[in-house]
Amino acid sequence: MYKINNCYKEFISNREVILANLKPDGLTLKFLWKNPDEHIVQCFNQTPFFQLYFKNDIMFLLLKFKELKWVDIPCIFTKNTKNHFFSDEDNFPCTILLANSNTGKLFVNQTCKMPIGISKAFIQAVHTQIDLPKKVAIEKINSIRSSFCASEMARLSLGKT
């Protein structure tokens, strides 16, 4: 659907943000970055290293692109998402989009597969996550992030760093 070097209004934002969209056929992560340079684009074109971190009923998907810093993405699933989400993928697909949040220009559109262990834990977490009111979830996320940076979460998570 999206083509590299095209501009999309939906990618224009007044801030840097990561948007996650979960569907049965995969997870889409939209990285809206202000003026990403060529080095960042090259790093995002590589398959990232995936890890998961669980704390206080919140799951963080952790990604490491080449020599960039770890990125943490808190995952909160609504009851509606959980009820419509079924996947038997051994290696769950993850589409990564990197766009300029100022212009909407798309630089990266790649689909990679999560490792089997991460896929199984991710899918299980979707179904077992406690339903939290949005305000409570945000408070928990902020509390965790004030205590741990993404690299510390990676160190404490399921995989090796």
Domain residue ranges in the chain:
9-156
Q: How far apart are CA 97 and CA 109, in angstroms?
A: 5
> pLDDT, tens digit, for every residue of 20-43?
988 888 899 999 999 999 999 999
> pLDDT, tens digit, for every residue of 142-152?
999 999 999 99
Q: How far apart are CA 52 and CA 157, in angstroms?
A: 6
> pLDDT, tens digit, for every residue of 96-119?
999 999 999 999 999 999 999 999
Task: Write down the pTM of the prediction.
Answer: 0.89
What 3-state class would DSSP assign to 17?
strand
Containing H/E element for 145? helix 134-147
State the number of CA atoms in the 13 A half-sphere of 43 facing the CB.
16
